[in-house]
Amino acid sequence: MLKIYGRRNSINVQKVLWCCAELNIPHERIDAGMAFGLNDTPEYLSKNPNGRVPMIEDGDWVLWESHAIVRYLSGVHGLGTLWPGNPRAFAEIDKWMDWFHTTLEPELRVAFWQLIRTPADKRDMAAVDAARLRVIKALTILDGQLAGKEFIGGTAFTMGDIPLGVAAYRWFGLDLERPQMRNVESWYRRLTERPAFQQHVMIPLT
Ligand SMILES: N[C@@H](CCC(=O)N[C@@H](CS)C(=O)NCC(=O)O)C(=O)O
């Protein structure tokens, strides 16, 4: 049975759990990270020297990095569905997975950590506002790309929606001023109708 290491409130673990639920992949989840520890033990570090979650074990094979895991699971269980059928269609959504790591998440993380994981009297609200503006700039690009589409790859849900979707849940869940973005909002509403998203992503922000 596939083993997934990671706490449920981790944005990166949620991608893997959501992917598994979309593809009905049986798995066992082992709590790890932050208060749960485990990811700092010699045994864990021997498998993932970064000491981060998520990590999976598929038999005696180990994989870490959330997007590598989502790509692997989609390749094995979702060819032609979560994993698009041809290299160009694949590249079109794969770039958005990279874009999450390079452009969206570094900014969103600042606002999330300040507003959710920092005591109110210690928050740097100037940093939150600067991050908010940079997230808006990034999401404006996404809004343009989603025009006329139901999902990031076009008409069908794919693995490309997964990193963007977990980020969108945090963005809409933070107590921040947000400009209207019609395409992002209707795409996000579509995600919230998916049982797998409801089960693994739409949980309290902690
Ligand atoms: N690029 C990595 C980032 C992994 C990462 O930073 N994970 C965080 C949780 S979201 C972590 O392990 N934090 C330490 C902890 O939970 O103890 C990925 O996408 O998997």
Residues 119-161 pLDDT 10s: 999 999 999 999 999 999 999 999 999 999 999 999 999 999 9
Any idea what the CATH number is for the domain that residue 43 is in?
A: 3.40.30.10
Pairing label, strands 2-5, 27-30: parallel
Domain count, the chain: 2
Q: Are residues 191 and 100 in the same domain?
A: yes
Helices (H), the chain: 11-23, 42-47, 66-77, 87-99, 105-117, 125-145, 161-173, 182-192, 195-200
How confident is the model over 99-112, as a mean pLDDT? Answer: 98
Q: Is 162 part of a structural domain of the chain?
A: yes
- Determine whether the shortest distance from the Cβ of 21 to ligand 1 is under 6 A: no
Q: For residue 50, what are the domain limits?
A: 2-77
Q: What is the rounded distance in angstroms from the CA atom of residue 136 to the CA atom of residue 171?
A: 10
Calculate mean pLDDT across residues 68-86.
Answer: 96
Q: Do 75 and 84 form a contact (C-beta atoms < 8 A)? A: no
Q: How far, in Å, CA of 185 to CA of 170, rounded?
A: 13
pTM for the model stands at 0.97
Q: How confident is the model at residue 2 (pLDDT cuts 50, 70, 90)?
A: very high
For ligand 1, mutation pick of 5, 9, 10, 112 (most atoms within 8 Å of CB): 10
Residue 160 in any domain: the answer is yes
For residues 52-70, give the mean pLDDT: 98
Residues 74, 84: Cα–Cα separation, whole Å: 9
Backbone φ and ψ of 21, nearest 5°: -70, -40
pLDDT above 90 for 85: no
Q: Is 6 in the pocket of ligand 1 (CB under 6 A)?
A: no
Give me the pLDDT at residue 122, please: 98
- 92-104 tens-digit pLDDT: 999 999 999 999 9
- Grouping H, G, I as helix, E, B as strand and the rest as coil, residue 4 is strand
Q: Quick check: is 82 in a domain?
A: no
